[in-house]
Amino acid sequence: LYSLLPVVANTVVGLAGVPRAANDAARGIGMTGRQRLFKIEFPLALPVILTAIRIVLVQNIGMATIAALIGGGGFGVFVFQGIGQTAMDLVLLGAVPTVALAFASAVVLDALIEMNSRLPNGARSA
């Protein structure tokens, strides 16, 4: 539920940003509403939707660290034990992998967004 708002909001923004000329051209060649949605609008909105997924993924990695407060485990255990014991090495033992994981996931999704933007329109709909 925490991730739903950014994904839905960016999906709406992405679909609203589809050029009117693309929709008119699709309507002109006789595409139905469903065909326009899946073959024109979604492929053109995909970079914005993938950006929302990137944002949500990084947010959730951070939230998973905080989940240690309620017994969720993970890297957050080291962070909060280190804070409780004022042991900076324990804090870093939990924080550095969390930051590395968030950074790596953001880089991978940025690469996917970049690859998607370089594909011709026909190949995006696959």
Structural domain spans, the chain: 4-124
Predicted local distance difference test score (pLDDT) of residue 119: 66
Say how many C-beta atoms besides its own lie within 10 A of residue 5's C-beta: 11
Q: Average model confidence (pLDDT) for the chain?
A: 88
Q: What pLDDT score does 1 carry?
A: 83
* pLDDT of 125: 47
What pLDDT was estimated at residue 120? Answer: 64
**Gap between the Cα atoms of 110 and 41, Å rounded:** 21
**CATH class for the region spanning 4-124:** mainly alpha
pTM for this predicted structure = 0.76
Rounded to whole angstroms, the Cα distance separating 77 from 1 reads: 24
State the Rg of the chain over Cα: 20
Alpha-carbon distance of 96 to 103, in angstroms, equals 10
The helix or strand, by DSSP H or E, that contains position 104, with its residue range, turns out to be helix 88-118
What is the C-alpha to C-alpha distance for residues 77 and 66, in angstroms, rounded to an integer? 9
106 neighbors 57 (Cβ within 8 angstroms): yes
Structure-token pair, residue 122:
């026909």
Q: What is the pLDDT of residues 64-89, one digit of tens each?
A: 888 888 888 888 899 999 999 988 99
What residues in the chain have per-residue pLDDT under 70?
119-126
